[in-house]
Homo-oligomer: A and B are copies of this chain.
Amino acid sequence: MPVPTPALSEFSLIERFFAHATRPGEHVALGIGDDCALLRPPAGEQLAISTDMLVEGRHFFPNVDPRALGHKTLAVNLSDLAAMGAKPLGFTLALALPDSDPAWLAPFAHGLAALADRHDCPLIGGDTTRGPRNLCVTVFGAVPGAHALRRDAAQAGDDIWVSGTVGDARLALGALRGEWPLTEDDLVQARRALEWPEPRVALGIALRGVARAALDISDGLLGDLGHILERSGLAARVDVDAVPRSALLAAQPEAIARRCSLTGGDDYELCFCADPSARDDIGNIAAKLGLPVTRIGTITLRDTHRARVDLHDRRGTSVDIDFKSFDHFQ
């Protein structure tokens, strides 16, 4: 039967479990407990906003470590700020839960708060209700408008870069689903990428005024790069052998490694486009952050007679990938 009020008391639940995520910040005029939170955005900057909804059985396994899930719920949203070059200001959390089990809520809140704390991004508002488990975070950041890393700003001739390595999350998912075997040790390592992604917030901020366009790799490198190309009206040449892989992924059969690195989702690394004159700056940023970045190709003009992404290997030989067969998530 529908009831108009939440069956869990949102104030007490949030006060009990999420208090350590709600500390006031320089930009928080009013936090949880009123009709609205009140943010003071930095003068002259734009407010970057992203919302993501995670559903049990679709975005996470029911038996996932709740601490990891708390981390990831916020991480995927901070990753969207990173991809825009925005500095985190705060976030709201709406939760539907089948029950208010402290054995689940406490570690979930802990994982969430630890990441929030590291990024100085307090919980400023929330809603809780009973229902099939569903986690919806909306995150707020600030960025000077002229420096926002938009998807529509790539230019022909730009280098295409990827941070970190990609594909480990998909490697873990495939092993968990029984698509391919993985040793226990390797699975532990791959699961870390799947369950504890690190949003590249510092990199996104450092790339303001250096990169032109960026996004985070959540649905797979090639598919995500396609969003930049589509919105910028351009195409790309990509060296599939240049796409950065972890040692773990590189040790897998080539077909699996290629599939995971090119079309695997849930990586949350940044893919960004920058003028070749920015290579030194980008190298310096990477060195300063201790985060490798790798050039994987070039933005080109669109030729409607060719595929939008022209793939080749390290020898320059054209690589033909049947994306449809890869894209079995759709």
Q: Is A276 an interface residue (CB 8 A)?
A: no
Query: A29-B145, A36-B80 in contact; A136/B94 too (CB < 8 A)?
Result: yes
In chain B, what residue has the closest Cβ to A169? B4
Range for the number of chain A residues in contact with chain B: 35 or more
Chain B residues within an 8 Å CB radius of A101: none
Which parts of A4-44 form the interface with B (CB within 8 Å)?
A: 4-5, 7, 9, 29-30, 33-41, 43
Query: A36-B141, A216-B35 in contact; A92/B51 too (CB < 8 A)?
Result: yes
Q: Is A3 an interface residue (CB 8 A)?
A: yes
Query: Considering the chains assembled together, what is the distance between the CA atoms of A132 and B173 in angstroms?
Result: 23
Q: Out of B3, B30, B50, which one reaches A148, CB within 8 Å?
A: B30
**Identical copies in the complex:** 2
Q: Is A160 an interface residue (CB 8 A)?
A: no
Query: Considering the chains assembled together, what is the distance between the CA atoms of A55 and B84 in angstroms?
Result: 31
Chain B residues within an 8 Å CB radius of A140: 47, 49
Q: Is A215 an interface residue (CB 8 A)?
A: yes
Query: Considering the chains assembled together, what is the distance between the CA atoms of A150 and B151 in angstroms?
Result: 38
Q: Is A65 an interface residue (CB 8 A)?
A: no
A127 CB to closest chain B CB (Å) equals 5
Chain B residues within an 8 Å CB radius of A80: 35-36
1/0 contact string of A63-81 vs chain B (CB within 8 Å): 0000000000000000011
Q: Is A96 an interface residue (CB 8 A)?
A: yes
Chain B residues within an 8 Å CB radius of A36: 48-50, 80-81, 83-84, 86, 141
Chain B residues within an 8 Å CB radius of A41: 41, 47
1/0 contact string of A52-65 vs chain B (CB within 8 Å): 11011111110000
Supply 18 A–B pairs (Cβ within 8 Å), ascending by A: A2-B57, A5-B265, A5-B330, A29-B46, A30-B150, A33-B231, A36-B83, A38-B46, A38-B47, A40-B46, A41-B47, A43-B43, A50-B125, A51-B93, A53-B94, A53-B95, A53-B127, A132-B132
| 3 smallest beta-carbon distances between A and B, as pairs | A55-B131, A53-B94, A35-B83
